[in-house]
Amino acid sequence: MKDDMTTLREAFGPDPVPPPDAHDRARAALLHRMEGGAPAHHVRHRRRWPLRVALTAAAAAAAVIGVVAVENIGTVDDSGKGYSTVGLPFPKPASAAEVLTNAAWAAKKRPWTDPRPDQFMYNEDRELRNELAYEREHPNGYIIPGHTRTITRQEWKRIDAQVMATNESGKLEVYHQGQGIQWGQLNYDELRKLNTPAKVLAWDKADKNFGVRLDALLGQYVLPPAVEAAFYGALAQGDDVRLNPDAVNIDGRPAIGLGKVLEGYLSQELLFDPQTYRIIGERLVAIADHHDTDEHGNDVFTPKGAVLRQAVYTKAIIVDKVGDTQ
């Protein structure tokens, strides 16, 4: 099996060889991000977080993972202006397609001004994680109620893809293209043209150099309202998105879960507010009991209902510079 760095080199072609210490730092960061934020030296035996899609990096890169976020939660936007949910296409949606149609309708209600190339997409979320000591011993473990912590993550990506920054637990890291680090970022001018479901589906089938799932991309980028709506419309045309029949509670609020079944027992879900149909989070939950084995051959049991990942999306807005959150 090829290692991560070999695969990245083949995908992007040859790059100048970085110094050994830069290579080591980049590899550690890549493993850290791709494995859902666990300490880099605890490499997970199985990848558990399929919603979190890495932005593929070149050989000297520190890859950055975005997460699904929402610009305006509830019925008030960041400017303090309210909006009405009167006119929802489906007041009582009975299928995933109907929920996504409502989500597309709600997305179009967002105020929007096209960003300049020197502005940034800002994403912020709060992820529920196990206590650190337990997480280090059980990096693949499901969330243990009553023994958790909340991690706040912030990410800034400049529209022209020349600057990127992350902040987790108060540690701000700023990266510049061409200074020993490169990362993959989809062309924003190309994204803003995807304003119909048909265009999104055609684009999704085309070669983009690195794969990004449509549902995951919704959290990695701050898209114009018409584009976000088009992505929901494209997802609604798929036959593999299921409406979770069980009530979901996230951050003290009810939510509608839409997901895809993975490995026969996991539901990878986007979460929507049942009143406003704004996206408010994501989770990975077991929908059936499951037995597996770890790298040592030991039995690993995951009970039905266990949550393996949960994140609340708090912001996805355009800002002027790294550090801006409003």
Q: pLDDT tens digit string along 230-273?
A: 999 999 998 889 898 777 888 778 999 998 898 999 998 999 99
What SS3 state is found at 32? helix
Residue located via tokens 């309202």: 225
Which run of H or E residues covers position 282?
Answer: strand 279-286
Give the max Cα distance, the chain: 59
Cα 4 to the center of its chain, rounded Å: 20
The H or E element that residue 28 is part of is helix 20-34
Provide the whole-model pTM. 0.72
- pLDDT the model gives residue 83: 52
Output the average pLDDT for the chain: 77
pLDDT at residue 258, as a whole number: 93
Structure confidence at residue 6 (pLDDT): 40
Band of residue 9 on the pLDDT scale cut at 50, 70, 90: very low
CA distance 193 to 203: 10
Question: 261 has which bridge partners?
Answer: 267
Collect contacts of 243-251 with beta carbons under 8 A, ≥24 apart: 243/93, 243/94, 243/95, 243/96, 243/99, 244/269, 248/283, 250/280, 250/281, 250/283, 250/310, 250/312, 251/126, 251/280, 251/281, 251/312
Q: Look at 100-114, 123-137, 232-246 and tell me which has the smallest mean pLDDT.
A: 232-246
> Please, how many CA atoms are within 13 Å of residue 46, restricted to the half-sphere of its CB?
14
- Say how far apart CA 192 and CA 134 lie, in whole Å: 43
Q: Which residue has the higher pLDDT, 55 or 124?
A: 124
Strands 171-176, 148-158: pairing is: unpaired
Neighbouring C-alpha atoms within 13 Å toward the C-beta of 279: 35
How far is it, in rounded angstroms, from Cα 104 to Cα 205?
A: 21
- Residue pLDDT, tens place only, 158-212: 999 999 999 987 889 999 998 888 888 999 999 999 999 999 999 998 877 677 7
